Amino acid sequence: KEKYDFQSIEPKWQQNWEEEELYQTEMDQDQEKYYVLEMFPYPSGNLHMGHVRNYSIGDVFARFKNMQGYNVLHPMGWDAFGLPAENAAIKRDIHPADWTEDNTDNMRKQFKMLGFSFDWEREVATCDPDYYKWTQWLFLELYKEGLAYKDESEVNWCPSCQTVLANEQVVDGECERCDSEVIDKELEQWSFKITEYAQELLDDHHLLSEWPDKVKLMQKNWIGRSEGANIEFEIADSEDSLEVFTTRPDTIYGATYMVLAPEHPLVEKLVTGTDKEAEVMDFVEKMKNQDEEERTGENAEKLGLDTGIKAVNPMTGEKIPVMIANYVLMDYGTGAIMAVPAHDERDFDFAKKYDLPIRVVIQPEDEDFSAADMEEAYTEDGLVVNSEILNGLSVDKAFDKIVEYFEKEDIGEKEVNYRLRDWLISRQRYWGTPIPIIYCDDCGSVPVPEEDLPVELPTDIEFTGEGESPLAQADDFVNTTCPKCGKDAHREVDTMDTFVDSSWYYLRYTSPEVADKVFDEEQANYWMNVDQYIGGVEHAVMHLLYARFFMKFLYDQGYVEDREPFSSLLTQGMVLLDGAKMSKSKGNVVDPMEILDEYGADVARLFILFAAPPAKDLDWNTEGVEGAQRFLNRVWRLTANNIDTIQDAGDFEVDGDAEEKLYRELHVAIKDVTEDVSERQQLNTAISSIMELVNAAYKYLADSEDINAGLLKEVVETIVVLLAPFAPHMTEELWANLGYEESVHQQSWPDYSEDAIAKDEIEIVVQVNGKVRDKVNVPVDIAEEELKEVAKEQENVQRHIEGKNIVKEIVVPQKLINIVAQ
């Protein structure tokens, strides 16, 4: 009875829970719901410690809320499309579908060995036609609303492998496989217009009060809203004009040159036929090979060229040079800027390098510097100078005044820009959701009619790793007829970014069985939104932003009642070993299966939850694992060794100091665990509180001759119940041993009594001449005179005051009394 035998207990209960369908959930309008969701895994083959952590955290919330009386939804599935499956097919000649299925089978088995309370009846896999049918349907819904569109975009192309590469396959501009230099290739690709929702995605942050601030900040920066103005500059001796976007229209008098992005359409038009044409077009060609980081990164070298063209500053009438330069990008703002070198760092560096004029137009109030003194741009606030109609104004006032002037004179207008780009979803890959579009020579792009969904992935594909899209070789797939006119037509051969699949899976879980709809609206609206979402912070922008976008779109279409999918977000920390992230490449991986073999699931879970608060990084260490094991055995013995006493126990009354102390500890523990889990989300301190209660129980047993059986029963049973969400197997076994037939996981979460917690006695230190001689327990509200009496009655105190004169008695309320005797 000294140790619990996890090897027999864990599989026994896992089987029992499955047979009893303990974790299957159904909609029940009369019961309040709680939806716990952990980000679903990519089926890479085996669970790693990060998974164990993620799902252990979620499992505590799910079990806890269930015991609190909520109807809990806690589903699991697979983010099953993606590149690794296809690489396995190329390297090992195994079909992506088979590879994926083997992996999900294995990981499902591992999940079950960990005892998570998933409702496996709701399992979904994004590669299942029953699922991706609806991913395609969502694509068509977006298409109908003009939110899915096709455009020319660049892809990474390896000329030697003759294939398109995903961004992660390009390392330092070279192909991961063959080290050849990767080039850009133009392809027609599909995008979703997430930019349409840019403002709403920002505005609705107020609905996300239970998200980490850092995640909201990352989204905010990613969306990158800028307020400014678009201004028109005339080109000298030409009909053309140039539009720029600036956030600092107040600095327009300081604009001493203009810069166009090399790709700007005006570049070719303006230089054609001039003596600069060859030089300029040569430079443009060179810039095409620089990626965004090389052009605008922190250490990027600024490269530029004078086009020989002049523009007219609308405020000064000056003719200023028009440059082209790598640091201006075509896909932001208008692809052209007015350069104000005195007040913009990039322009300052560029002006110094190419010897362009610098003119100060903003100065701090009591300073006066000239351009020649400047070593860097002055970007702070100040007052406007050298600017005719703006002189003396603050930056903010000047902004408003000049924009008003522009609008009146028809030179420009207020403009808001976002860094956020539309979401390019085309992938030149096989293992993904086919894009449901057919191309007809006469009708153009034609959406596949809803009744023809799903467009199924063909299985007979050869995986060579060459060519644009593997589906292009599947003639039976490609060749089809136009749904509109019936003529021969061909299918889109690209598949969707897997982030599309994961943007809506939380909705499918609410009714995975429905065959004729994307989800059942009644069930979706009962379960949504997700009350607690848990996952890695690496998904702070893409996944979480895309999912929010989909939810907003579905809200606008009237399919859901919430505008946000996830009410509360917890981003768990990493699992480290000796301070470094566990990763295959570092070779410092602890395999969860080895830990399960040696210690069992409950120990693994308890350790990982105890070692750090969920949001913090966690250092794996063997002593900690053994500590968790010792604690569980201690709980095991506490129950096993007292089972006879407990089983005979009936009602009880609390009597005497020792019992009162234990009773109080019991209620403190219930309160702390409850609040740690539900309010503070500090699962580690919740476990500490249970440990303290266990210690208190042992102390009570050791110190007391007469055991209050009823009290002991209450304490031990509460320990088992409190521990159940953390160590579900051992507690289930103990609960059965205590004589109960119903599962511990179906018990109500215990309540605590504030009265029991309120301290009615306190301990007071008694000193004689400043030395501690005793401690006494007295009522909190004891009168000072009475305290003095009690103190002097103590044996050890008497010994030290005997025969002496009491000169003074000093009382520090609630703490101590010092008797001064001579």
Query: By CB under 6 A, which span of 41-49, 168-176, 326-334, 438-446 interacts with ligand ANZ?
Result: 326-334
DSSP states along 21-51: TTT-----TTS-EEEEEEPPPP--SS--HHH
Q: How far is the CB of 480 from Zn ion (least distance, A)?
A: 11
Token pair 């009619």 in the structure block, residue: 449
Which residue in the set 170, 183, 443, 615 belongs to the binding site for Zn ion (CB under 5 A)?
443
Task: Tell the burial category of 53 from Cβ atoms under 10 Å away from its Cβ (0-12, 13-18, 19+).
Answer: buried
Q: How far is the CB of 477 from Zn ion (least distance, A)?
A: 18
Q: Phi/psi class of residue 537: alpha, beta or left (left: φ > 0; alpha: ψ in -120 to 50)?
A: alpha
Q: How far is the CB of 63 from ligand ANZ (least distance, A)?
A: 47
Residue 248, contacted partner among ligand ANZ, Zn ion, none, CB below 5-8 A by kind? ligand ANZ
Instruction: Check residue 338 for interaction with ligand ANZ (CB under 6 A).
Output: yes
Interface map 446-485 toward Zn ion (x if CB under 5 A): ------------------------------------x-xx
Angle between helical axes of 601-610 and 683-703 (0-180°, round to 10): 110
Which residue in the set 44, 106, 417, 794 belongs to the binding site for ligand ANZ (CB under 6 A)?
417
Instruction: Check residue 575 for interaction with ligand ANZ (CB under 6 A).
Output: no
Angle, alpha carbons 320-325-329 (nearest 5°): 110
Q: Could you say which residues in the range 251-290 bind ligand ANZ, by CB under 6 A?
A: 251
Residues that contact Zn ion, how many (by CB under 5 A): 6
Residue 337, contacted partner among Zn ion, ligand ANZ, none, CB below 5-8 A by kind? ligand ANZ
Which residue in the set 328, 384, 638, 724 belongs to the binding site for ligand ANZ (CB under 6 A)?
328
3-state secondary structure of 812: strand
Q: How far is the CB of 353 from ligand ANZ (least distance, A)?
A: 16
Of 68 and 480, the one with the shorter C-beta distance to Zn ion is 480
Q: Could you say which residues in the range 467-526 bind ligand ANZ, by CB under 6 A?
A: none
Token pair 């968790």 in the structure block, residue: 628
SS3 percent helix, strand, coil of the chain, rounded to 5, is 45, 20, 35
Instruction: Check residue 329 for interaction with ligand ANZ (CB under 6 A).
Output: yes
Annotated binding site, which residues? 584
Q: Could you say which residues in the range 230-259 bind Zn ion, by CB under 5 A?
A: none
Q: Could you say which residues in the range 111-150 bind Zn ion, by CB under 5 A?
A: none
Of 442 and 598, the one with the shorter C-beta distance to Zn ion is 442
Token pair 């000169």 in the structure block, residue: 807
DSSP states along 339-393: E-TTT-HHHHHHHHHHT------EE-TT----GGG-SS---S--EE-S-GGGTT-
Query: By CB under 6 A, which span of 329-337, 458-466, 669-677, 774-782 interacts with ligand ANZ?
Result: 329-337
Using alpha carbons, select from 312, 331, 349, 339 the residue that is nearest to residue 255.
339
Count of CA atoms in the C-beta half-sphere (13 A) of 239: 1
Residue 340, contacted partner among ligand ANZ, Zn ion, none, CB below 5-8 A by kind? ligand ANZ
Interface map 144-163 toward ligand ANZ (x if CB under 6 A): --------------------
Q: How far is the CB of 615 from ligand ANZ (least distance, A)?
A: 31
Of 335 and 728, the one with the shorter C-beta distance to ligand ANZ is 335
- Is the C-alpha dihedral spanning 296, 301, 302, 306 positive or negative? negative
Instruction: Check residue 440 for interaction with Zn ion (CB under 5 A).
Output: yes
Number of H helices, E strands in the chain: 28, 34
Residues that contact ligand ANZ, how many (by CB under 6 A): 17
Of 417 and 684, the one with the shorter C-beta distance to ligand ANZ is 417
Query: CA torsion, points 211, 217, 222, 227, in degrees to nearest 10?
Result: 130
Residue 482, contacted partner among ligand ANZ, Zn ion, none, CB below 5-8 A by kind? Zn ion
3-class SS letters over 390-408: HCCCEHHHHHHHHHHHHHH
Residue 247, contacted partner among ligand ANZ, Zn ion, none, CB below 5-8 A by kind? ligand ANZ
Q: How far is the CB of 444 from Zn ion (least distance, A)?
A: 8
- The two three-digit tokens of residue 75, written as one number: 């589903």
Which residue in the set 103, 169, 246, 256 belongs to the binding site for ligand ANZ (CB under 6 A)?
246
Q: What is the Cα gyration radius of the chain?
A: 35
Please report, in angstroms and rounded to a whole number, the separation of the first and last CA atoms in the chain.
Answer: 59
Instruction: Check residue 437 for interaction with Zn ion (CB under 5 A).
Output: no
Query: By CB under 6 A, which span of 79-87, 242-250, 616-624, 788-796 interacts with ligand ANZ?
Result: 242-250
Instruction: Tell me the C-alpha distance between 357 and 373, whole Å.
Output: 13
Of 324 and 694, the one with the shorter C-beta distance to ligand ANZ is 324
Instruction: Check residue 445 for interaction with ligand ANZ (CB under 6 A).
Output: no
Of 238 and 417, the one with the shorter C-beta distance to ligand ANZ is 417
Of 402 and 646, the one with the shorter C-beta distance to ligand ANZ is 402
Q: Could you say which residues in the range 419-438 bind ligand ANZ, by CB under 6 A?
A: none
Annotated binding site for ATP, which residues? 584
The secondary structure of residue 473, as a DSSP letter, is G
Instruction: Tell me the C-alpha distance between 226 and 208, whole Å.
Output: 22
Q: How far is the CB of 62 from ligand ANZ (least distance, A)?
A: 43
Of 309 and 438, the one with the shorter C-beta distance to Zn ion is 438
Query: By CB under 6 A, which span of 2-10, 338-346, 467-475, 730-738 interacts with ligand ANZ?
Result: 338-346
217-223's contacts with Cβ under 8 Å and 24+ in sequence apart are 218/540, 218/541, 219/540, 219/541, 219/544, 219/545, 221/419, 222/419, 222/420, 222/541, 222/545, 223/198, 223/418, 223/419, 223/420, 223/545
The CA–CA distances, whole Å, from 509 to 43, 74, 116, 475, 496 equal 18, 9, 17, 35, 21
Residue 519, contacted partner among Zn ion, ligand ANZ, none, CB below 5-8 A by kind? none
Q: How many residues does the chain have?
A: 822
DSSP states along 621-643: -HHHHHHHHHHHHHHHHHHHTTH
Query: CA torsion, points 30, 35, 36, 41, in degrees to nearest 10?
Result: 130
Buried b (16+ CB within 10 A) or exposed e, 674-691: bebbeeebbbbebbbbbb
Interface map 751-780 toward ligand ANZ (x if CB under 6 A): ------------------------------
Of 328 and 817, the one with the shorter C-beta distance to ligand ANZ is 328
The contact set with Zn ion (CB under 5 A) reads 440, 442-443, 482, 484-485
The contact set with ligand ANZ (CB under 6 A) reads 226, 245-248, 251, 328-329, 332-333, 335, 337-338, 340, 343-344, 417
